[in-house]
Structures are given as structure tokens and as C-alpha cells.
């Protein structure tokens, strides 16, 4: 049987560009070469698309030397990756069977890329436009979770224009959320980029301006004395939850540095929870996934408040990290699904979802 041609898309215009490269490295190493022909496709921080056998290596070296500029067109039925140059017409590089996006953050997991792929009718791994966009915006996501009775931490969303225009008013509104500590986050970013734990008004002002560098919507939420518990979700209409895992941060919270730059954080898999707590957090993860019409995968991140023993859903990451130390694949490995088999299943789910969409009627018939 011929191998499926899988385009692995990485990089992107996001503060999580470097994390994406690490995820792509792991995915490409774990994809079964007997089943798949991998086509690496990198997007630079400026938004240019490149491909070539050494594309990932070149991106890791912060260069595109020797790579081809490439593009896809949003035309249904045309899955061709084209190369182009100023001195020649476009040439076909590969016809893709499915795209595996490993782009975290803006323009990757926020629904924009998914919308482009929907226009092209190109099968892809991960959630669709709706789930991706709702899951990406932490403020809107909390609103949807509250409507479904899923507990979330108290918060407020401020706009960057409000922070710049009247900082004192923005500080007053933020401090009304709860006593310190407060957490400030860009609403549409991940990997803990731009997040600050604030213990005073001066901390808060600094945190608001820092987060506003990355997004126009800024989330301010109550800080909890809590354990950090994560659950991986896999499936389409019938999703399943992995065993939970617990993060022991090596920083004051699970920051970018604690995740990727040092070895001080620890992962406890499975998490030391009671059977009742395990069942509860798995149930909440699946309920949240269904609430946003998730597909393929997501990682549900929870805070387990020490004083009350109550779970609060922090976020649902629709394109979680796939690095060698990432929780999503580790949790499925501990649940009996090895990394390569997990990738097989994700590709199957992407193809299934695509087949379901193509059966829909696109014209009105009286």
C-alpha cells in the first residue's frame, strides 16, 4: 500500500514559534516512516512558507537557505503544495493527503489556519474553526464553560487600548476581581508566554503592559493556591480522556522557563489523586471538549484548589505541545497508547472528520 503523504506544518507568526519547532521535531521522529511520507513545511515569523528535506533543521538554525518558497491555494479538491520563485512559474512539490499542523498560538491554533484548510477542503489534524477559536481565547472560553456548568476561576478581560488609555482605571477594574495574587495573561496565547503572577499594584501594572505586547485582549484572574492537573483528550464525537498528570512547577508557576528552559519542573504521571478525583477531572475534560465541539485532540488544564478540593478548568489547549517533555503524549503513553500509535489515531480522526464534512450538502435544493 502507498504511504499517506503528511504535511507537517511548523513555526508560525507567534510567540510560541520556537516551541512549535520542538513539537515538530518530536512528531516527525515518531511518525511511522513505513506508513507516512512526511513533507516538512515551515512558516517563518514573518509568515513566509518554505519546504525542503532539511526545512526543520534550517528553521532551527534560524535560516531558510536552500529551501523552497511554497504555498497552498484555498481551492476545494486541490491539495497540491506549490513551489514558486520570481523567475519561474509555480511548480508542484507534493500532493498532500493530510496536514498535521504543529503551530501553537496565534495564526496556528486560533482558527485562522483551520479556516484556510476548510476553504481548501484539505484534511487536517486537530480541532476545527469553532473549537480552535473558542479554545484559544481564554476569556471567551471561560464564558462558554460557565454556560455549561464547568467551574472556572473568576476573571475579567481588559483591552490593550483600555490599559494604555487609562492605566489607573484598568488597575482598579483588575483589582476588583479578587485580592492579590492575581494572574495576568494574553487571552490568545499559550506556553505561558506573557503571563505574570502579580502580588501588588506595581506588579499588576507591569504585567498588564507586558501582556498587552502580545494581545489586544488581556485576562486578569484570581490567583489560587492550587495543584496543576492536566488531562489529554482524544477523539471526535466520542472522545476519551487519558489518566491525569500533575505538574510540579520549578518556578512560582508553570512558566515558559519552567516548561522549556530548565529541568526543575517535575511531572507526576499518573497524578496522585483519589479514584473519585480522577473520575471527576476526566469527566470535566470530556465535557469541556464537547462543549466547544472539539475534534481530534485537546489538553485540559485544571487547577485543584488545596483549600476546597475543587477543580477549576484553566484552559483547553486544542493544539497542545508535542515536544519530548510535553504532557499530552506522555499522558497517552501512560494510558497505554504509545506516541506513534497516538499519531496514527490523530491522523485517522482528521481524515474521519474531513469525510464527514464532505458528505454535507453545499447547495440548496427546494
Question: What confidence tens digit (pLDDT) does each residue in 201-223 have?
Answer: 999 999 999 999 999 999 999 99
- pLDDT at position 343: 97
Cβ–Cβ < 8 Å for 121, 74: no
Q: Where are the domains of the chain?
A: 4-124, 134-152+224-356, 155-222
Using DSSP, state whether 140 is helix, strand or coil.
helix
Q: How far apart are CA 219 and CA 194, in angstroms?
A: 11
Name the superfamily (CATH) of residues 134-152+224-356.
ATP-grasp fold, B domain (3.30.470.20)
Do 219 and 253 form a contact (C-beta atoms < 8 A)?
Answer: no
Q: How far apart are CA 226 and CA 302, in angstroms?
A: 9
Q: In terms of CATH, what superfamily is 155-222?
A: ATP-grasp fold, A domain (3.30.1490.20)
- Residue 63: name the closest of 48, 77, 76, 78 by CA: 48
- Answer yes or no: is pLDDT of 259 > 80: no
pTM beyond 0.75: the answer is yes
Structure confidence at residue 255 (pLDDT): 47
Of all residues in the chain, the percent with pLDDT exceeding 90 is 86
pLDDT over 70 percentage in the chain: 95
User: Fold for domain 4-124?
Assistant: Rossmann fold (3.40.50)
pLDDT of residue 364: 86
When pLDDT is averaged across residues 146-170 and rounded to a whole number, the result is 97
Evaluate whether 4-124 and 155-222 have a shared fold. no
Among the residues of the chain, which ranges form H helices? 17-30, 55-60, 112-120, 129-136, 138-147, 160-165, 167-175, 201-211, 256, 275-291, 327-334, 339-358
> Among residues 282, 181, 287, which one has the least CA distance to residue 226?
181
Confidence at 252, pLDDT banded by 50, 70, 90: low
Average pLDDT over residues 139-157: 97
pLDDT, average across residues 119-124: 96
Residue 257 has pLDDT above 70, yes or no: no
Cβ(229)–Cβ(271) below 8 Å: yes
Q: Tell me if 230 sits within 8 A of 314, measured CB to CB.
A: no
Pseudo-torsion of CA 240, 327, 116, 352, nearest 10°? -30
For residue 310, what is its C-alpha cell? 475543587
CA-based nearest residue to 97, from 322, 344, 347, 356: 347
Give dist(CA 167, CA 325) in Å, integer.
39
Cβ contacts of residue 83 below 8 Å, gap of 6+? 51, 68, 69, 70, 90, 91, 92, 93
CB 95 within 8 A of CB 77: no
Taking Cα atoms as reference points, which of 80, 56, 76 lies closest to residue 66?
56
Asked if residue 260 has pLDDT above 60, the reply is no
Which one-letter DSSP state was computed for residue 2?
A: P
Helices 138-147 & 129-136, crossing angle to 10 degrees?
110
Secondary structure class of 136 (helix, strand, coil): helix
Local confidence band at 263 (pLDDT 50, 70, 90 cut-offs): low
| pLDDT value of position 191 | 55
Residue 39 has pLDDT above 90, yes or no: yes
CB 187, CB 211: distance < 8 Å:
no
The rounded radius of gyration (Å) of the Cα atoms in the chain is 21
* Residue 25, pLDDT above cutoff 90: yes
Predicted confidence at residue 254, as pLDDT, reads 47
98 or 364, which is more confident:
98
The DSSP code for 214 is T
Mean of pLDDT values over 292-317:
97
Mean pLDDT over the full length of the chain:
93
Between strands 155-159 and 217-222, the pairing is antiparallel
Residue 262 clears pLDDT 70, i.e. is over it:
no
58 contacts 103 by C-beta, under 8 angstroms: no
Q: What is the DSSP letter of 128?
A: -
Angle between helices 167-175 and 201-211 (to 10 degrees): 110
Please answer whether residues 84 and 71 qualify as being in contact, where contact means their C-beta atoms are separated by less than 8 angstroms. yes
Amino acid at each position: 500500500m502507498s504511504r499517506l503523504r503528511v504535511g507537517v506544518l511548523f513555526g508560525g507568526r507567534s510567540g510560541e514559534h520556537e516551541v512549535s519547532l520542538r513539537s515538530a521535531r518530536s512528531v516527525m521522529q515518531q511518525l511511522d516512516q513505513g506508513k507516512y511520507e512526511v513533507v516538512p513545511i515551515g512558516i517563518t515569523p514573518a509568515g513566509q512558507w518554505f519546504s525542503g528535506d532539511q526545512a526543520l533543521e534550517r528553521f532551527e538554525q534560524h535560516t531558510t537557505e536552500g529551501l523552497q518558497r511554497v504555498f497552498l491555494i484555498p481551492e476545494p479538491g486541490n491539495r497540491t503544495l506549490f513551489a514558486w520563485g520570481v523567475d519561474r512559474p509555480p511548480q508542484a512539490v507534493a500532493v498532500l493527503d493530510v496536514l498535521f499542523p504543529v503551530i501553537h498560538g496565534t495564526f496556528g491554533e486560533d482558527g485562522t489556519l483551520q479556516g484556510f484548510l476548510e476553504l481548501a477542503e484539505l484534511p487536517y489534524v486537530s480541532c476545527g474553526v469553532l473549537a480552535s477559536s473558542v479554545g484559544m481565547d481564554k476569556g471567551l472560553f471561560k464564558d462558554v464553560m460557565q454556560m455549561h456548568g464547568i467551574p472556572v476561576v473568576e476573571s475579567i478581560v481588559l483591552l490593550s487600548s483600555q490599559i494604555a488609555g487609562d492605566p489607573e482605571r484598568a488597575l482598579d477594574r483588575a483589582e476588583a476581581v479578587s485580592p492579590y495574587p492575581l494572574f495576568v495573561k494574553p487571552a490568545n496565547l499559550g506556553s505561558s508566554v506573557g503571563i505574570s503572577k502579580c502580588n501588588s499594584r506595581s506588579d499588576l501594572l507591569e504585567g498588564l503592559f507586558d501582556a498587552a505586547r502580545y494581545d489586544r485582549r488581556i485576562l486578569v484572574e484570581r490567583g489560587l493556591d492550587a495543584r496543576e492537573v492536566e488531562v489529554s483528550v482524544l477523539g471526535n464525537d466520542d472522545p476519551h480522556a487519558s489518566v491525569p498528570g500533575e505538574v510540579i512547577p520549578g518556578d512560582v508557576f508553570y512558566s515558559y522557563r519552567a516548561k522549556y528552559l530548565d529541568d526543575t519542573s517535575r511531572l507526576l504521571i499518573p497524578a496522585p489523586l483519589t479514584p473519585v478525583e480522577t473520575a471527576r477531572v476526566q469527566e470535566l475534560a470530556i465535557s469541556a471538549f464537547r462543549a466547544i465541539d472539539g475534534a481530534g485532540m485537546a489538553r485540559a488544564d485544571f487547577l485543584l484548589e488545596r483549600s476546597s478540593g475543587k477543580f477549576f478548568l484553566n484552559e483547553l489547549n486544542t493544539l497542545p505541545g508535542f515536544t519530548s517533555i510535553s504532557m499530552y503524549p506522555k499522558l497517552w503513553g501512560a494510558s497505554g497508547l504509545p506516541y506513534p500509535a497516538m499519531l496514527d489515531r490523530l491522523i485517522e480522526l482528521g481524515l474521519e472528520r474531513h469525510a464527514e464534512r464532505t458528505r454535507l450538502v453545499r447547495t440548496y435544493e427546494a
